[in-house]
Amino acid sequence: MKRMIHELEIKNMLRMANEALDRAYVPYSGFRVGACLKGVSGAYYLGCNIENAAYSPSNCAERTAVFKAVSEGEREFEALAIVSTGEQPATPCGVCRQVLVEFCDPEMPIICSNRGGKYNIKTLGELLPFAFTKGDLT
Q: Which one-letter amino acid corresponds to residue 131?
A: A
Active-site residue, 74 included: no
Query: Does residue number 31 form part of the binding site for ligand THU (CB under 6 A)?
Result: yes
Query: Does residue number 95 form part of the binding site for ligand THU (CB under 6 A)?
Result: no
Residue with smaller CB distance to ligand THU, 53 or 137: 53
Q: Which residue from 34, 59, 58, 37 is spatially nearest to 48, judged by alpha carbons?
A: 34
* Options 51, 62, 74, 78, the catalytic residue: 62
Residues in contact with 109: Cβ distance below 8 Å, sequence separation at least 6, in sequence order: 2, 3, 5, 79, 80, 121, 122, 123
Residue with smaller CB distance to ligand THU, 49 or 123: 49
Query: Does residue number 66 form part of the binding site for ligand THU (CB under 6 A)?
Result: no
| DSSP symbol at 59 | B
What Cα–Cα distance (Å) separates residue 15 from each residue in 57, 110, 134? 27, 15, 34
Binding segment for ligand THU (CB under 6 A), chosen from 60-68, 103-111, 118-126, 128-136, is: 60-68
Which of the residues are catalytic?
Answer: 62
Binding site for ligand THU (CB under 6 A): 26, 29, 31, 33, 49, 51, 58, 60-62, 90, 92-93, 96
